[in-house]
Structure 1
Amino acid sequence: MTSLPQTESLPRTAAWTYDDFTSAELDPALWTIMSITGGDGERHRYRDRNARVRTGDGRLELTVNPFTRFHDTDPRQNNAKQMYRSVRRFAVPAAGRLTFEVAMGVRTHDQVPYDLLDAYGTVNVFDMETGVVLNAAATNDTVYAVIERLALPNVTQPHERYIHRVVLDVPTEPGQEHRYAISYRADTSEAEFHVDGRLAYETRLPVAVASFNAGMALFSARDLSRYTRAEREHGQGATGQWGPWRMTTGVS
């Protein structure tokens, strides 16, 4: 399991910009490549050798075209092509709400149309101490929410692992930017997904979460047991743009 940074306690009510992407390079004090232990017991970094990164103009732009990070049996070595996680982990205020907000635009290249998993970009809000993942995801043609609890050694039991993908009523086009806000409320364990200022989905988590990391990623995650390598690796890729990241805490 990925080692976690020290949790940063936040004021009960505050709003601030975590990263406005005005530096010439991605700030290593704010972001790092995600890594995780694979089924082989080795550490694997979510980095694709074809990745091209550009920043400095208020956005992080990441292109991987085509994807090259594939594996035939271990999703941890296959699904995430390139992923960044926040160095800081943010505590949810007691009886309050923590919100992560960021604009994201996704353009997929040679994606299978209306396939949610062939190539997509994500806004990630996650907690490796409980395995909870709240992602906003987009392809050329679909915007959707992902609510997941990962199977993690010494964290979750097999029966606790689940994943739900909910297609949102948000029309989109290749590269179209939307503003995503993902909120979690401590006293009710409720999560909300807002897109372009409108509530798009809400749910209640089966486990309380004390803190979250933020992240940005490009994925291709078609089922390893259902699709052959040729069906999963057919030359597809994606470009994602994110920024700026804004965090808000409040009592509600």
Structure 2
Amino acid sequence: MEQERIVGDFHTILSEGEVWKMGGFPLPDGSFWEYREPDAVVIVRNGMLYVRAPLSRQHNQVQILDNAKHMYYSVEDVKVPEAGEVSFELQIRARSQGTVPGDLYDGYVSLNLLDFSTGAALDFFASNDKYASVYAVLPFPGVEVPPSDKTRYFCIFKEDTNFKPREFNTYKITYNRAQDEVIFYVNGEEVRRQQQVPVKFNQFTIALGIMTEKDLTPEGSVSVHGQTVIGEWSPVKVTIKE
């Protein structure tokens, strides 16, 4: 049996909590760190989401809070079938100004599939001239990652350039829980297959973001230096096969 649905309705993007909400994490002091750039320009046109964000947000102590600058979470999670597979497919265009050429992590556009029950994440990152598939288990603030007799926290990036720079590309991630396998596709071509995944994903929050990935230094964040990132996303097609 195959089920398909579209997660989009970007015309509701300002009605936060209806289909999409601003991403972020609660902090130990009871406050909430929100992934929102104050000067971001948000446009919804022809069913597509466009965000132009001059980067300014930084966090000097927590890497995960420094990385994402402007991000939307889906209000509803997608449950992973016990048997069969779930796939997520969309188009993304990434363009930027003031970023370092060839340095994907200086400013990029993202699709993030986040499982807050395990700390696991499957992502695509795209910049002016490069993209990466990402497979990770992360110490998200407030999330209890299950103990492991192997490496508990990790983030494995795989970069490539076989895509259309600064144009729309089609990205797809497929996860099979029974087979512990993840497959990444770009423009219909398989670009990565991750087998023997050590964590069972239970559910995915879909996240659409503008991000950097610059390691914190002893002096704090170095992720912002006047760059602007422009992201465009189509609605996300979710397909469940059981």
TM-score normalised by structure 1 residue count: 0.86
Distance in 2 separating the partners of 1:178 and 1:226: 37
Q: Report the counterpart of residue 168 of structure 2 in structure 1.
A: 177
Amino acid at match of 2:182: A
Alignment: residue pair count: 236
1:78 partner SS: helix
Q: Report the counterpart of residue 159 of structure 2 in structure 1.
A: 167
Distance in 2 separating the partners of 1:51 and 1:108: 13
CA contact (8 A) 2:93 2:231 kept: yes
Alignment map for 1:34-45 (pairs within 5 Å): 34-38=23-27, 42-45=31-34
- Note if 1:18 corresponds to 2:7: yes
1:77 partner SS: helix
Q: Structure 1 residue 157: deviation in Å?
A: 5.0
- Note if 1:203 corresponds to 2:203: no
CA contact (8 A) 1:20 1:245 kept: no
Alignment map for 1:73-222 (pairs within 5 Å): 73-152=61-140, 153-156=143-146, 159-174=151-166, 176-204=167-195, 205-222=197-214
Q: Report the counterpart of residue 37 of structure 2 in structure 1.
A: 48
Amino acid at match of 2:23: M
Deviations 1:191-229 (A, max 9, x none): 111111111111032111121111100002211127875
Q: Structure 1 residue 244: deviation in Å?
A: 2.0
Distance 1:47 1:102, change over 3 A: same
CA contact (8 A) 1:39 1:74 kept: no
Runs of 5+ unmatched residues, structure 2: none
TM-score normalised by structure 2 residue count: 0.89
Q: Structure 1 residue 26: deviation in Å?
A: 4.8
Q: Structure 1 residue 94: deviation in Å?
A: 2.1
Distance 1:220 1:171, change over 3 A: same
Distance in 1 separating the partners of 2:106 and 2:156: 17
Distance in 2 separating the partners of 1:30 and 1:232: 30
CA contact (8 A) 2:163 2:169 kept: no
Distance in 1 separating the partners of 2:179 and 2:168: 31
1:88 partner SS: coil
Runs of 5+ unmatched residues, structure 1: 1-11
Instruction: Point out 4+ residue stretches in structure 1 off by more than 3 angstroms.
Output: 24-28, 38-42, 156-159, 226-229
- Note if 1:63 corresponds to 2:86: no
Identity across the alignment (%): 27
Amino acid at match of 1:109: Q
Distance in 1 separating the partners of 2:202 and 2:72: 21
Amino acid at match of 1:33: M
Distance 1:38 1:108, change over 3 A: farther
Shifted more, 73-82 versus 131-140: the winner is: 73-82
CA contact (8 A) 2:9 2:19 kept: no
2:102 partner SS: coil
Q: Structure 1 residue 71: deviation in Å?
A: 2.3
Amino acid at match of 2:145: V
Distance in 1 separating the partners of 2:168 and 2:159: 17
Distance 1:181 1:171, change over 3 A: closer
Deviations 1:144-174 (A, max 9, x none): 1111111145324595110111013523322
